[in-house]
Amino acid sequence: MNKLALEEYKIEEYLDYDDPTTLKAQQIAVEEVRSKFGKTYPLIINGHETKGEKGVFESINPSNTKETIGKFQLASSLQAETALESAWTAFRTWQYVPAEERAGILLRAAEIARRRRMEINAWQVAESGHNYREADAQVAEGIDFLNYYAHEALRYDKGMDVLDARGEINRTIYIPLGAGVSISPWNFPFAIAAGMAAGPIAAGNTIVAKPSPDTPMMCWLVHEIFREAGLPEGVFNFITGDNEEIGDTLTGSTKTRFINFTGSLAVGQHISQIAAEPQNGQNFVKRVFVELGGKNAIVVDADADLEAASTAIVQSAYGYQGQKCSACSRAIIVDEVYDVIAEMVAAKTKSLQVGNAKDNIIVGPVINQKAVDKTMSYIEIGKGEGKLVVGGRKAESPDPGHYIEPTIFSEVDPDARIAQEEIFGPVLSLIRAKDTDNAIQIANNTRYGLTGGYFSSDPGNIDKALREFHVGNLYINRKCTGALVGAQPFGGFNLSGTDSKAGGRDYLMCFLQAKSLTEKPLEGDKTVLERFRYGK
C-alpha cells in the first residue's frame, strides 16, 4: 500500500467556471446552501454533540450583514479542558493505529470533500466572502492536504535509516506527541482548518480544533467529513467560543502538548508567550508552530515582461480582497519602468468590480467591521504618505456588506507605515527603486519574510534574487500567492512565523518525535526489533 499510495498523489485540479455547466452547478449549490442559513450547530467533544455553557454566537455573511450563516456555541474554559481530556483519552489507542489505517481515513476524507466540493465552495462563498474561483482553490487545497499527509504518514512510518553497530540491532522510529490544539484562521477557513488538523492526525496525534469565530461553519464541515470518513471519536474535537477565553485556556493548559496556529502576528506572539510559561504539573516542553503575517512584495525589474508583471501584481494584491497572508501589498518597481507599470496596474485595478460573493464578483467584502475600520484607517494614513491613485473609499453596493474599493498609493517611501505594517485589505503601495540591488534591499526591509515575487528576463538578476530575496516562498515571473501542496511548501521567515512549511515533506515531523531503539541480541536468539512494530 505504501508504494501505491505514494505514487498516486497528484495536485487537485481547479474547477473551470468558464464552463457554463460548472458555473450553473455552482450557482445552484450557492442557492441550496442559502436555504440552510440560520441553523444551530453544537460543540463536538469526544464525538458527542454538546451545548456551549456560555450561550451561542452568530456567524454573519460579510457580503450581507443581515444574513446569519449559523449559530454556534460559546464554550466555557471547563469545556475546553474537557475537550483536551477527551483528546488524550482517544490518543491512548489512536497512537497505535497503523499508519495504513490512518492514511486510509484521510484518503476517504479527501474523497468525501471532493464529492461535496460544490457545497463546501458555496458555504465558503457565504461565510467568508470568496468568489467561486477563490473558494474552489481553497477546497482543492484542503483535498490536497488530506491526500498528501496520508502519503506522508506512510513515509514516516518507515522510520529513520540507522546503522547496526558493535553487535547491536538498532532502529529509530517516529512516534506521535499526544493531544494538541489547532487554531485556524478565517481567511482560508476550509483548507487551513483541514490541513492543520490532518497533519497531526496523520502522524498519530489527536486534536482540539478551534476555528475563528468569523468562519466556524467551515471547520464544522471538516468535522463532518472526518466523521463520515470513520475517524474515531475524540481524535478530532470541535470547539467554538471567545478567542481570548477559549484560546488562552487551550494554549495555556498543561494538557496541551503542541499548538498549531495560523493568524495575526500579535496573536501568534501572545500564544508563544503563554506556551513558553511552564505550568504546575506540566511534564513536557510545548511545541508551538505559528504561521503569521507578511508585508509581501513583487519586484519588477527593468527587463521584465510588463504585462505579466502588472497582471500578477493586481491578482496578488486583490485576490480575496488582499486578505491573504501571502498577498502583495508592495510593488517595488525599478525606476526605468516605474511609470509604465504604475499606469498598467492602475488601469487593471480600476476595471475590478466589487460586490456580493454569491454573484461571483471578482472583489467581494472584507471579513468584518473591524477589518473595514482598520483598512480605512490605513487608507487615511496613506493619503499623507503617498499619492492616492485608485480607490480609497468604501465601495457602494446594494447589499449591506463590508465593501472597500481596491486602493493604490504611488510614490510611497519604503519606510512609510503603509509600506511596513500589515494592512490585510485591498491596499497596494507602489515603491520606486533605483536598480535591482536597491529593489531587493527595499523588499527585504521589513520585519516579515513570507512571500515575494520577482519579474525579470535576466538570468543573472534572477540568480541574485534567488539568493538575496529573503522570504520563505519566492516566485519568479509569477504572482506571489497560490502555493500548491506538495509543490511549494508554505511558510515564512522572520516575524512571519516558524516556517513549518505546510504542504511539504517536513511538515509531519512537527508532530512527531524520534525514538531510538537498541537491542543486544541474546546468543542464538532472534531479536524483537527484527519484527517490532509500533502500531497494533
Which residues carry out catalysis? 291, 325
| C-alpha closest to that of 185 among 323, 76, 297, 53 | 323
- Alpha-carbon distance 451 to 316, whole Å? 11
Residue 104 CB neighbour total at 10 angstroms? 18
- The DSSP bridge partners found for residue 342 are none
- Alpha-carbon distance 168 to 172, whole Å? 13
- Alpha-carbon distance 137 to 367, whole Å? 18
Residue 155 CB neighbour total at 10 angstroms? 15
Single-letter amino acid, residue 290: V
- Alpha-carbon distance 259 to 182, whole Å? 6
Single-letter amino acid, residue 418: I
- Alpha-carbon distance 179 to 202, whole Å? 13
Beta-strand (E) ranges in 7-91? 39-41, 43-45, 48-50, 56-60, 68-73
- The strand pair at 169-176 and 512-519 is best described as antiparallel
Query: Which residues are CB-neighbours of 233 under 8 A, at least 6 positions away?
Result: 46, 47, 48, 90
Cell of 321: 480582497
Rounded to the nearest 10°, the torsion over CA 176, 181, 186, 189 is 40
Backbone phi, psi, residue 192, to 5°: -75, -40
